Amino acid sequence: MKGRKHLLGLEELGREQIEQILDAAQSFKEVLERSIPKVPTLRGKTVANLFFEPSTRTRISFELAEKRLSADTVNFTASGSSVSKGESLKDTARNIEAMQVDMIVVRHSASGAPHFLARSLDCSVINAGDGTHEHPTQGLLDVFTVREHKGKIEGLKVVIVGDIAHSRVAASNIWGLTKLGARVVVCGPRTLLPIGIERLGVEATSDLDKALEGADVVNVLRIQLERQKSGLFPSIREYSRCFGLTRERLSAAREDVLVMHPGPINRGVEISQDVADGPFSVILEQVTNGVAVRMAVLYLLSGSEVEPKPE
Amino acid sequence: MTYVEKAQIMDEQAMARAIARISHEIVERNQGTEHLVLVGIRRRGVPLARRIQQKLKQYEGADVPLGVLDITLYRDDLQQIGPAPVVHSSDLPFDITGKIVVLVDDVLYTGRTVRAALDALIDFGRPKAIQLAVLVDRGHRELPIRADFVGKNLPTSEKEVVKVSVTEEDGLDGVSIGEVIQD
C-alpha cells in the first residue's frame, strides 16, 4: 500500500495491493483470537466514523477494528447532528478535521461522497459504502472469507445474485474477485442487471439455476427495499420465487459451495431460512472477518503519511 | 544501498558452540527446564530458539514448548518509518501465565525490539519471569534493558551493521560485521 492514503474503492487497487491487505488481515485475525485482543499500533491516532446512512454491522465493525488497534474514535451519525440544520458535507467534514482527526471513515448515500472528501481534506478517507458505487471493505472481507475457505481465488466460479444495479457490495466484489482471477457470474432480474456489465469481465444471466451449476461460491445480496420504489420487479413474492436461494436450488452448485450474504438478511425473500442457517453458510464468519480486514486497512493506510509528497 | 562485509565474527562452529553454552546456562540458571518456555522473535530469533529447544532436549531430555512472536504492531516507530511494514502472525500455542519465558533474538542493539516484545508478551498472559537470550550484544542501548544469556559481546560503532545469517533463512550460519554504503 506504499504511498496510498485513501481507500475509496477496489477498482483503483492492483492485485498485489489487494493481496497485501488480505495477508495483513490474516495476521490481525490472529490478534482477535488472543485473550487480550488489542494491540497498541494506532495509539494516539484519532478516527472519525461519519455515517450519513444507517448501518449496524459496518459501523460497529469499524469501531471495533479501531478500538482493537488502540485508536481513539469519534462517531457521527446524520440524525441528531448539524446536518439536520442544513450543514453541507464539506463543512461537516472540515469541521471534524479541524479537531485534529487523522482518518475519516465515511458512509454516504451519494456515490462519490468519499472521493469528494478525499479531495478536500488532508486526512485519510476510507469509504464505508457510497450510494450505489462501492463498499470496498465489504468486498475485501468477502474475498478474504472465500480465500480462507478455498485457499485461493483464481479459477473459482462465484455467483452474485440480486439487485446488481443498485448494489455497491456487488461492485466491490466484482472488482476484487476479477482482479484475483475468479470467474464471476452476476444473476438477477433483467431490470436490475446494468446494461454493459459484461465489460467488467463478468457473465450476466437471469437464470439462477443455470448460474448455480458448478458454483464454488454464491453471494446473495439483500433486496434493498428502501431503494425499490419504482417497480423494477412486480412483487417481493415473485422475486423470491425466481431469485430466492433455497436448498433445492443450491444442490446444483458444488458440494463444498460457500453461501455468503452481506446482511442484513431478509429471511424468506432472497435466501431461505434453512440455507441462511445451513451448513454451507459462512454469513457470520464474514462478520468476524470484517473486523480483521478493517484493522488491516486502517493499519496499512496509517503508515503512508510520511511518504514524501510528489513535487 | 549495499552491504560491505568488513569481518566475519562467528562461523558455523562458533555459532553452534555459543548456542550450546546458552542452552547450558538456561538450564543452570533455572535449575532445570520446569515451567520453561522459549519464544523466538521473528524472524531470526525463531530458528535460534528452535536450536536451543533441540539442545535442551539433548541435554535434559525435556520438550520445552516453542512460540513465535511478531512485534510489528508494538513498534514505537510506526509513525516514523513510512509505509506500514508487513505484519506477520504471532503463534504462542500455550498459556504463558506462571511460566518462565526465555525470549530469543539474534542481535541486541537499542533494546527497542525487546521493549516491544515485552509489551506483546504481557498481552498474552502474566509470566512468572521473562529472560532474554541473544546471539550477539552489540551495545548502544537506548533503553534500560540487558540480556541474561549472550552468545558474544561485540563492540561496534553505530555506523556498522551486524548481520546474523541462519541456514533456515539465509542458507548458511554465521555472524559478520560490515557497513552499508549509500550508492
Do A3 and B83 lie within an 8 Å CB cutoff?
yes
**Residue-level pLDDT at A92:** 86
**What average pLDDT does chain A have?**
92
**What average pLDDT does chain B have?**
94
Average pLDDT over residues A146-171: 96
Closest CB to A40: pick one of B74, B83, B84.
B74
**Residue-level pLDDT at A84:** 67
**Residue-level pLDDT at A228:** 65
- Say how many C-beta atoms besides its own lie within 10 A of residue A70's C-beta: 15
CA dist A172 → A9, A42, A241, B100 (Å): 7, 27, 27, 48
pLDDT digits (tens, 9 = 90+) for A144-154: 999 999 999 99
Rounded Cα distance, B64 and B68, in Å = 13
Closest CB to A306: pick one of B80, B85, B91.
B80
Instruction: Report the percentage of chain A scoring pLDDT > 70.
Output: 94
Q: pTM here?
A: 0.90
B135 pLDDT more than 70: yes
Cell reading at A69: 488497534
Cell reading at A146: 472465500
Do A303 and B84 lie within an 8 Å CB cutoff?
yes
A132 pLDDT more than 70: yes
Contact assessment for residue A47 and residue A28, using Cβ atoms and an 8 Å cutoff: no
Average pLDDT over residues A272-299: 96
Do A36 and B123 lie within an 8 Å CB cutoff?
yes
Closest to A220 (Cα-Cα) out of A301, A176, A286, A133: A286
Instruction: Report the percentage of chain A scoring pLDDT > 90.
Output: 79
Give the residues across from B152 on adjacent strands. B136
- In the numeric block, the cell 451519525 is attached to A77
**Residue-level pLDDT at A144:** 98
Contact assessment for residue A207 and residue A187, using Cβ atoms and an 8 Å cutoff: yes
Do A304 and B78 lie within an 8 Å CB cutoff?
no
Closest CB to B87: pick one of A24, A35, A304.
A24
**Residue-level pLDDT at A126:** 98
**Residue-level pLDDT at A80:** 67
A2 pLDDT tier (thresholds 50, 70, 90): low
| CB-CB neighbors (< 8 A) of A304 in chain B | 82-84
Average pLDDT over residues A74-103: 83
**Residue-level pLDDT at A87:** 79
Do A34 and B91 lie within an 8 Å CB cutoff?
no
Nearest chain A residue (CA) to B77:
A41
Give the sign of the dihedral formed by CA B77, CA B81, CA B84, CA B89: negative
Q: Which residue has the higher pLDDT, B162 or A76?
A: B162
Give the residues across from B132 on adjacent strands. B103
A78 pLDDT more than 80: no
Nearest chain A residue (CA) to B75:
A41
B125 pLDDT more than 80: yes
A222 pLDDT more than 80: yes
| Across A217-221, B77-81, B142-146, least confident range | B77-81
**Three-class SS of chain A:** CCCCCCECCCCCCCHHHHHHHHHHHHHHHHHHCCCCCCCCCCCCCEEEEEECCCCCHHHHHHHHHHHHCCCEEEEEECCCCHHHHCCCHHHHHHHHHCCCCCEEEEEECCCCHHHHHHHHCCCEEEEEEECCCECHHHHHHHHHHHHHHHCCCCCCEEEEECCCCCCHHHHHHHHHHHHCCCEEEEECCHHHCCCCHHHHCCEEECCHHHHHCCCCEEEECCCCHHHCCCCCCCCHHHHHHHHCECHHHHCCCCCCCEEECCCCCCECCCECHHHHCCCCECHHHHHHHHHHHHHHHHHHHHCCCCCCCCC
User: Closest approach of chain B CAs to the CA of A41, in angstroms?
Assistant: 5
Which residues touch B46 (CB under 8 Å, ≥6 apart)?
B40, B68, B104
Do A302 and B81 lie within an 8 Å CB cutoff?
no
- A-B Cβ pairs (cutoff 8 Å, strict): 61
User: Closest approach of chain B CAs to the CA of A304, in angstroms?
Assistant: 5
Closest CB to A303: pick one of B74, B82, B89.
B82
A305 pLDDT more than 50: no
**Residue-level pLDDT at A310:** 38
Average pLDDT over residues A174-179: 98
